Structure 1
Amino acid sequence: MELKAIVKYKQDLIILFVALGYFFFARLGYFLVFEDIYILPTWPPSGLALAFLILLGRKAWPGITIGALLANILAYWNTGDLSSDSVILLSSVIAAGHTLEALLGNFLIEKWIHRDQLFNKSIHVFRFLGIGFIIALVSAIIGTGALYYQELVSTDEFLTRFVTWWVGNLVGILLFTPFILSFKEPITKNFKKGHLMEVIFFSIAILIVFILLNQESLRYPVQQSIPFLVLPMLLWLAFRFHLAVAMTGTIIIGLISVYMTTQDIGPFVMETSNNAMLILQTFLGVISVSTIILSATQRERTEAQDELKSLNTNLEEIVQKRTKELEKENATRKKAEEELKSSNLELRKINAELDNFVYRVSHDLRAPIASMLGLLNLAKSDADSELKATYLNKIEQSAKLQDTFITEILDQSRNARLEVRKEPIDFEKIINESFEQLKYSNTNDGVEKSLNIDLKHPFYSDPWRLKVIMNNVISNSIRYRNGKSPKIDIDISTKKEQAIINIKDNGRGIGEEHISKVFQMFYRATDDNAGSGLGLYIVKETVSKLKGEVQIESKPKEGTTVSFILPNMKN
Structure 2
Amino acid sequence: MLRNAEPLLRDPGRLGIAVLRVLAVAAAYFVSGRLGLLQQIVVAGAKVTPLWPPTGIALTCLLLLGLGIWPGIALGAFLVIASIGPLHPASLGIVAGNTLAPVAACLMLRRVGFRVGLDRLRDGLALVFLGALGGMLISATVGSGVLWLSGSVPGHEFLATWSAWWTGDAMGVLVVTPLLLALRAFRLPEEREPFDWVEPVLLLAGTVAITLIATASSLGLLFLVFPLLIWAALRFQLIGAAPCVLVVSVLTIAAAVDHEGPFSHHSVFSTMVILQALNGSAALTGLLLSAVIAEQQSMYQRIEQACLGLAEVVARLAPGEDDGRWPPSGDGGSGP
**TM band (smaller chain):** 0.7 to 0.9
- Aligned pairs for 1:452-531 (under 5 A) are none
| Alpha-carbon separation, structure 2, partners of 1:270 and 1:213 | 15
Q: Among residues 223, 238, 256, which one is paired with 1:261 in the alignment?
A: 256
Q: Which residue of 1 aligns with 2:38?
A: 31
Asked if 1:130 is matched to 2:123, the reply is no
Deviations 1:230-258 (A, max 9, x none): 11211122122252342122112211111
1:112/1:321 Cα in 2 relative to 1: closer, same or farther (>3 Å)? same
Partner of 1:283 in structure 2?
A: 278
User: CA 1:210 to 1:133, structure 2 compared with 1: closer, same or farther past 3 Å?
Assistant: closer
Equivalent pairs, count: 316
Alignment of 1:63-78 (within 5 A): 63-77=72-86
What CA deviation, in whole Å up to 9, does each residue of 1:474-511 have, x standing for no partner? xxxxxxxxxxxxxxxxxxxxxxxxxxxxxxxxxxxxxx
Aligned to 1:84: none
Say which SS state the counterpart of residue 153 (structure 2) adopts: coil
Say which structure is richer in strand.
1
Distance 1:211 1:18 in 2: 33
**1:231 partnered with 2:188:** no
Aligned-pair distance for 1:267? 2.3
| Residue segments in structure 1 that go unaligned for 5+ positions in a row | 78-86, 336-571
Partner of 2:59: 50
SS across alignment from 2:41 = coil
Q: Is residue 250 of structure 2 the alignment partner of residue 241 of structure 1?
A: no
1:158 partner letter: F
Question: Which deviates further from its counterpart, 197-206 or 32-41?
Answer: 197-206
1:156-214 Cα shifts (integer Å, max 9, x gaps)? 11111111111111111111111112222232457656755535765785698599789
Letter matched to residue 123 of structure 2: H
Q: For the residues of structure 2 that align with 1:213 and 1:166, how far apart are their CA atoms?
A: 26
Mean CA deviation greater in 141-150 or 301-310? 301-310
Q: Once the two structures are aligned, what percentage of the paired residues are identical?
A: 25
Look up the match of 2:18.
11
Moved more, 108-117 or 286-295: 108-117
Structure 2 residue 279 is the aligned partner of structure 1 residue 272:
no
Deviation of the 1:10 alpha carbon:
1.5
One-letter amino acid of the structure 1 residue matched with residue 127 of structure 2? F
Letter of the 1:231 partner, please give it: F
1:120 matched to which residue of 2? Answer: 119
Is the Cα contact below 8 Å between 1:73 and 1:88 reproduced in 2?
no
* SS, match of residue 259 in structure 2: coil
Q: Does 1:308 align with 2:303?
A: yes
Q: Deviations over 1:437-496 (max 9, x none)?
A: xxxxxxxxxxxxxxxxxxxxxxxxxxxxxxxxxxxxxxxxxxxxxxxxxxxxxxxxxxxx
Give distance in 2, aligned partners of 1:57 and 1:124. Answer: 18
Q: Work out the CA distance in 1 between the residues paired with 2:212 and 2:100.
A: 47
Is the counterpart of residue 141 in structure 1 residue 136 in structure 2?
no
* Corresponding residue number in structure 2 for 1:198: 199
Partner residue in 1 for 2:3: none
Query: What code does the residue aligned with 2:29 have?
Result: Y
1:234 is aligned with what amino acid? Answer: L
Distance in structure 2 (CA, Å) of the matches to 1:304 and 1:198: 26
Counterpart AA for 1:169: D
In 1, are the aligned partners of 2:115 and 2:123 still within 8 Å (CA)? Answer: no
The amino acid that maps onto 1:252 is: V
User: How far apart are 1:115 and its partner, in Å?
Assistant: 4.1
- The answer to whether structure 1 residue 252 and structure 2 residue 247 are counterparts is yes
Q: Tell me, yes or no, if the aligned pair for 1:46 and 1:102 is still in contact at 8 Å.
A: yes
Give deviations 1:417-442, integer Å, cap 9, x for gaps: xxxxxxxxxxxxxxxxxxxxxxxxxx
8 Å Cα contact 2:40/2:50 also seen in 1: yes
Taking the TM superposition and a 5 Å limit, the aligned residue runs for 1:53-452 are 53-77=62-86, 87-117=87-117, 119-131=118-130, 132-188=132-188, 192=193, 195-196=196-197, 198-199=199-200, 202=203, 219-221=217-219, 224-225=220-221, 227-324=222-319, 334=332
Structure 2 CA distance for partners of 1:219 and 1:43, relative to 1, 3 Å: closer
Structure with max Cα Rg? 1
Please provide the CA RMSD for this pair. Answer: 3.2
Instruction: Say which is worse superposed, 22-31 or 304-313, in terms of deviation.
Output: 304-313
Listed one character per residue, the Cα deviations across residues 526-554 of structure 1 (whole Å, up to 9, x for unaligned) are xxxxxxxxxxxxxxxxxxxxxxxxxxxxx
Contact 2:207 2:247 in 1 (8 A): no
CA distance in 2, matches of 1:43, 1:208: 24
Give the 3 Å change call, closer, same or farther, for CA 210–236 of structure 1 in structure 2: closer
Cα shift at 1:8: 4.0
Letter in 2 for 1:142: V
Q: CA deviation at 1:332?
A: 8.8
Name 2:4's counterpart in structure 1: none
Q: Would you say the 8 A contact 1:187–1:242 is kept in 2?
A: no
How far apart are 1:67 and its partner, in Å?
Answer: 0.9
- Classify the secondary structure of the residue corresponding to 2:21: helix
For the 8 Å contact 1:54–1:115, the answer to whether it is kept is no
Q: Which moved more, 1:191-200 or 1:270-279?
A: 191-200
Separation in 1 of the partners of 2:331 and 2:273? 80
* Structure 2 Cα separation of the partners of residues 26 and 33 of structure 1: 11
Tell me if the contact between 1:32 and 1:259 (Cα under 8 Å) persists in the aligned partners. Answer: yes
Cross-structure match for 2:5? none
Aligned to 1:543: none
State the SS of the aligned residue for 1:31: coil
For residues 194 and 229 of structure 2, what CA distance do their matches in structure 1 show? 20
| Per-residue deviation, residues 369-395 of structure 1 (Å, max 9, x unmatched) | xxxxxxxxxxxxxxxxxxxxxxxxxxx
Q: For 2:329 and 2:233, locate their aligned partners in 1 and report how far apart those are by CA, in whole Å.
A: 55
Q: What's the offset of the Cα at 1:103? A: 1.2
Shift of 1:104: 0.8
The answer (yes or no) to whether the contact 1:18–1:67 under 8 Å persists in 2 is: yes
Moved more, 305-314 or 186-195: 186-195
| SS at 1:324 equivalent | coil
